Structure 1
């Protein structure tokens, strides 16, 4: 299976080159729809997911797929996560709204899960040709080069991505001693995870967790040396159906604890 996993990066790149990039900044060449959730989707998402699904299933005949778009139509599909067989989790076009609006911040995300945990993950930034990948227990890479997160010692020099509530807390305390800064959300979680794994972002907080958004990113960040846990019970993230639960991600457990205190969240 390991030899076949080495093909995943190329499958993802081919999908971007064939199904996504030719249509970027060409709004007349694709259609946009609204899902029942209110989120937008394009035929580019659907075509990319179809290609990824067919290609990834060919690598392992007993594997199954959970794609963001297929899951929006069939919520019963999550039961495969409990099976003792390989499950591919796909976000064919993370940052759909950015793509549709001509903003070059989008990605393809693929995770491989087995026995209820993520064992491999890939995030591809097709604009900047950056492939982040990780295998559980082996480490994380960016275009084949090892990733190792370096801990920043000064909280005031840190920058993170946070939701509305936590952003308000940071804004109220902005400029204070040891208070980190925040950035505007990318509206592309895959790209945020890439920056977390390379130290461009130092921490992040997410409260609505969907497996296609987080399974690969959490593994890549962890294998690069980072730390993440739910603030309510300090348990790590596992690929499960969408859940509302706050996940805090940081360079290390020490920084995680410091950020938690700054945000005044009770454990």
Structure 2
């Protein structure tokens, strides 16, 4: 299956269509009974998530009837969906609203993400911002760019390397257990500053555009990271699981550290885990 610029742009447009039809009309209009908890008070699902995923899934099935489609909300109903993600000839991985907590709270930091996976390898990633109405798009071997609402594009580049004391980074605290949580919190003070958006889509936007240096995630669900990691890598960045192994679509554990390059990755891994 060949995904050229035109095909990827059509997928980007699909995410925007779903946002226009199913997401934005619900933003700041949700009733309490249209929001529910999944695993915790910060892990939510709304009618917007479910409707947007169904919209995107329906169109993808029409265009690619043989493809495996893995949506975050569909996975809640069928946990076998991830079983063949690492081997499928073609798969699409959907996060209909990344940053659902923000969306439900009326905070305009959420995104729609899609990754294209071919035989266990991510070959394209798209992150759409329904509020800013732009897209971050990356394709394997073709770099990464930001597409404006006008259609104009510009290349993006990950942050330059530097010492840990000059870095801005994020640690996803809610999925880190003690005592590591306290260790990371203490050592994070070595950095210049920190950020935490409760939204991987916008965090990957910062990383891929060079406006932040690193992010640490302990929970690895493919819809949260495949698109962002691919875009960041195509922007010149580096990512690996915490044991330094490569991050693959089939991985759902092992943690993830995203950094400007391998040497920065090694410094962050050493300094933030130091006793």
| TM-score (norm. length: structure 2) | 0.87
Contact in 1 for aligned 2:187/2:271 (Cα 8 Å): no
| 1:31 alignment partner in structure 2 | 34
| 2:60 is the alignment partner of 1:56 | yes
Q: CA deviation at 1:167?
A: 6.6
| 2:224 is the alignment partner of 1:221 | no
1:1-267 aligned at under 5 Å gives the runs 1=2, 2=4, 3-28=6-31, 31-35=34-38, 37-38=39-40, 39-143=43-147, 144-164=153-173, 168-169=182-183, 171-173=185-187, 179-232=190-243, 234-240=244-250, 242-243=252-253, 245-264=254-273
Q: CA deviation at 1:105?
A: 0.8
In structure 2, runs of 5+ residues without a counterpart are: 148-152
Contact in 2 for aligned 1:78/1:241 (Cα 8 Å): no
Contact in 2 for aligned 1:211/1:242 (Cα 8 Å): yes
Give the distance between the partners of 2:212 and 2:154, measured in 1 at CA. Answer: 19
Contact in 2 for aligned 1:30/1:44 (Cα 8 Å): no
Contact in 1 for aligned 2:115/2:223 (Cα 8 Å): yes
Give the distance between the partners of 2:188 and 2:171, measured in 1 at CA. Answer: 14
Q: CA deviation at 1:157?
A: 2.2
In structure 1, runs of 5+ residues without a counterpart are: none
Report the number of matched residues: 260
Give the distance between the partners of 1:78 and 1:135, measured in 2 at CA. Answer: 22
Contact in 2 for aligned 1:160/1:201 (Cα 8 Å): yes
Give the distance between the partners of 1:155 and 1:107, measured in 2 at CA. Answer: 29
Give the distance between the partners of 2:201 and 2:70, measured in 1 at CA. Answer: 17
Superposed CA deviations along residues 14-56 of structure 1, whole A, max 9, x for unmatched, are 1111111111111239711233x34321111110000111122
Give the stretch that moved more between structures: 199-208 or 81-90. 81-90
Q: CA deviation at 1:241?
A: 5.5
Contact in 2 for aligned 1:23/1:29 (Cα 8 Å): no
Q: CA deviation at 1:259?
A: 0.9
Give 3-state SS (helix, strand or coil) of 2:126's partner.
strand
Contact in 2 for aligned 1:49/1:91 (Cα 8 Å): yes
Mark the CA change 1:265 to 1:63 in structure 2 (over 3 Å): closer, same or farther.
farther
Mark the CA change 1:20 to 1:75 in structure 2 (over 3 Å): closer, same or farther.
same
Contact in 2 for aligned 1:49/1:92 (Cα 8 Å): yes
Give 3-state SS (helix, strand or coil) of 1:209's partner.
coil
Give the distance between the partners of 1:98 and 1:30, measured in 2 at CA. Answer: 17
